[in-house]
Amino acid sequence: MLNREVIDFRDPVDWLQNEYSWRKLKNPNYSQRAFAKLLGVGSGRLSEILSGRRAMTKELGRNFSEKLGYKKEEQKLFLKAIESSRAENKKCTEKDFKYLQESSFKEICDWYYLAILNIMTISEKLSEPEGVARRLGLDITITKNAIKKLIGLGLVEFDKGGYYRRTSKPISTTKDIPSEAIRVFQQQILEKAQQAIVTVPAEKRDFSTSFVRLNPRSINKIKDAIEVSRRELASTCKSSKKTEIYALNIQFFPLTQESTHDR
């Protein structure tokens, strides 16, 4: 039974997690293994699907929707979510990005998760969480728990040599779609930027503002140009030796209210 107050219809994983949570609420002893049996898949496979490590096919989605008793309209929405998710995943894979579905990004939307991932790209032999905590000014318990979660999502591994190693490509999320997880992340990054204005010397930072006059119909072109610029800058940084992690923030938003002429 779908809880339409909390479900994210764009993410097929959210559908399943919502169904599982509803059954768990009715019966606290209800297990993921029992849910997997209901769906007709192994518990290991279901775990990979729920964590975002394995994508659902439309065929599997049809089977799930039948097992869950979805009505015809719900089945259409569910299959559409699967199709959109696979298309987005393929698009990001082709561009050498690791696409995280909303359900997975919800688990790591605090700013320090992505910062930890990037720390692991500048330290070839990272064996102690204490070093990460110190570099990012984090509590050691928060750091250890974050690394554990990143390992659980398949983004980090603890190799045979005793070192933590990032295993994922650069992370990408949904674009131009409302997301509470992305809002949380961006709000935290903006708070870090506010702190940096006060605490970081001017020669080690750059904050600038430009006022731009434009027609709202040009917004998508400008957003595309900003994205290209961000990725070009990231590519430029690959050629230098990395010792620090910087956050690049570009704020682009309207200061004026919508004109009646554009309605």
Provide the CATH number for the domain around residue 66.
1.10.260
Position 4 in a domain: no
- Strand ranges inside the chain, DSSP E: 98-99, 156-158, 164-166, 171-172
Sign of CA dihedral 22, 23, 26, 28: negative
Cβ atoms of 44 and 32 within 8 Å: the answer is no
218 vs 91: which has the higher pLDDT: 218
Residue 174: per-residue pLDDT: 64
Residue 233: pLDDT over 70? yes
Q: Which pLDDT belongs to residue 94? A: 45
**Does residue 235 form part of some domain?**
no
Structural domain including 88 reads: 12-95
Residue 101 in domain = no
Which burial class, exposed, middle or buried, applies to 182 when counting CB atoms under 10 A from its CB (0-12, 13-18, 19+)? Answer: middle
Single-letter amino acid, residue 159: D
* Residue 64 belongs to a domain: yes
25-72 confidence digits (pLDDT tens)? 889 899 999 999 999 998 888 887 887 667 788 888 899 999 999 888
Q: Tell me if 54 is assigned to some domain.
A: yes
Judged against a pLDDT cut of 80, whether residue 244 lies above it is answered with yes
Amino acid at 217: R
Counting every residue, how long is the chain? 263
Average pLDDT over residues 195-212: 90
* Residue 181, pLDDT above cutoff 90: no
Task: Check residue 6 and give its pLDDT.
Answer: 40
**d(Cα 133, Cα 122) in Å, to the nearest integer?**
15
Question: Looking at per-residue confidence, does 104 or 2 come out higher?
Answer: 104
Q: Is the pLDDT of residue 240 over 90?
A: no
**Residue 145 CA: distances (Å) to CA of 25, 108, 113, 141:** 26, 11, 10, 6
Contact indicator for 226, 214 with CB cutoff of 8 Å:
no
Number of domains comprising the chain: 1
Is 3 part of any domain?
Answer: no
160 occurs within a structural domain = no
Q: How confident is the model at residue 101 (pLDDT cuts 50, 70, 90)?
A: confident
Asked if residue 63 belongs to a domain, the reply is yes
Task: Read off the pLDDT of each residue in 196-224 and give the average, rounded to a whole number.
Answer: 86
